[in-house]
Amino acid sequence: MSFQINGKVALVTGGAGGIGRCIVEALLENGIKGVVIADINEEQGTKVVSELSQKFNPTQILYQKTDVTVVESFEDAFKAAIQQFQHIDILFNNAGIVNENEWEKCVQVNLIGVINGMILATEKYLKDQKLGEEAVIVNTSSIASVTPELLIPTYNATKSAINAITRTYAESYYYNSTKIKVVAICPGVTETSIVNLAGVVRPGPDDSAERTLDGYPLQSPKFLADQVMKVVEKAPTGTIWIIEDTKPAYQYIYNDRKMSQYKV
C-alpha cells in the first residue's frame, strides 16, 4: 500500500539545515498541507521560512525553535503542528551533528534526540493524531551506520543505533497498535555544512587514515530529498534505504544471524 504525502502534515527536525531544508521543499512540491521546521537554529529557521514563502503558500510553513535533546521542547513542536494544521502524519527525525571531540553532544543530538522523537510519535502524536490509516517516521541514519568510517566512531555508533530503533518500532508488536510505518535513510556524503569536518573528528592513532572526503562521491541534498519522497510513499516498514552517489535509493538487507557459518 502506498502512502500519500498530499494533504498530510509533517514535522522535520533539523529542517533549517541542508538535507532537512530540501526535505521540507520536496514535501511542499508533493502537496503537503503543512510542515513544521523544528530546528535549534532560529536565525536559519526564520530565513528558510521567508525563502520558501516566496515559492509556496506561507501558511503551509511554520518554524518552531526546537532542541530535540530536550523532550519538552520537542513536544512543543508536535503541539505547534496540531495547533496550526490539526493533525500530524509524518515525522522526519533528521537533526544530527558530527562532533567526536564533544562526543556526548553527538550522542545527545543523534541518538537521544531520535529516541525522544520515537517515543513522542509512537506513544502519542503520530499514533493518535494522524489523518489517515497510516503515519510515517523517517529516521536519518547514514552509510556510516553500516560501513564504519575512521575518525568518527561515536557518529558511526549513533547511526547504527538509529537503524536498530527503526527496525524495533517497525515490528508488528508496535505497528499493530500504532499504524506507523518506520523506515531509515542512509545518505552517502551529501553537500551540506556537516561535511566541513574541521575540528570535529578524532585525531586517530596515526596519520594513515584518509584526512579528507575528497575520495567520496558527493551528491546534492535536493537529489537526496527527491529520493526520500519515494521512500516515504513506497518503502515497507522496517526497511533501511541507502542513497549515495546520486543513484536511486536501494534497500540495505541485514543478514539473518542464524545463517552465520563461522564458529570459534
Ligand X SMILES: CCCCCC(=O)/C=C/C=C\C=C\C=C\[C@@H](O)[C@@H](O)CCCC(=O)O
Which residues are part of the catalytic machinery?
155
Residue 227 to residue 191: CA distance in whole angstroms: 15
CB of 20 to ligand X, least distance (A): 14
Taking alpha carbons only, the member of 186, 91, 84, 68 closest to residue 137 is 91
Q: Which of residues 195-254 bind ligand NAI (CB under 6 A)?
A: 195
Using Cβ positions, the residue closest to ligand X within the complex turns out to be 142
Contact with ligand NAI (CB under 6 A) among 64, 99, 156, 192? 192
Per the CB < 8 A criterion, the answer to whether 36 and 81 are in contact is: yes
Query: Is 150 a binder of ligand X (CB under 6 A)?
Result: yes
**CA atoms in the 13 A half-sphere facing the CB of 161:** 17
Q: Which of 12, 52, 61, 69 binds ligand NAI (CB under 6 A)?
A: 69
Q: What is the 3-state secondary structure (H, E, C) of 135-170?
A: EEEEEECCHHHCCCCCCCHHHHHHHHHHHHHHHHHC
Among the listed residues 10, 11, 18, 23, the single contact to ligand NAI using CB under 6 A? 18
Stretch that binds ligand NAI, among 17-25, 56-64, 119-127, 173-181 (CB under 6 A): 17-25
Specify the DSSP element, H or E, that contains 26: helix 18-29
Residue 81 CB, nearest distance to ligand X (Å)? 27
> Does the protein bind ligand NAI through residue 91 (CB under 6 A)?
no
By rule CB under 6 A, what string of x and - marks binding of each residue 196-235 to ligand X?
Answer: -x---x-------xxxxx--x-------------------
Rg (CA), the chain: 18
The one-letter amino acid code at 127 reads K
Nearer to ligand NAI, 131 or 218 (CB): 218
Per-residue interface string for the shown chain with ligand X, residues 118-147, x marking contact by CB under 6 A: ------------------------xxx---
DSSP SS3 for 195 = helix
Residue 189 binding ligand NAI, by CB under 6 A? yes
CA gap 83, 209 in Å, rounded: 50
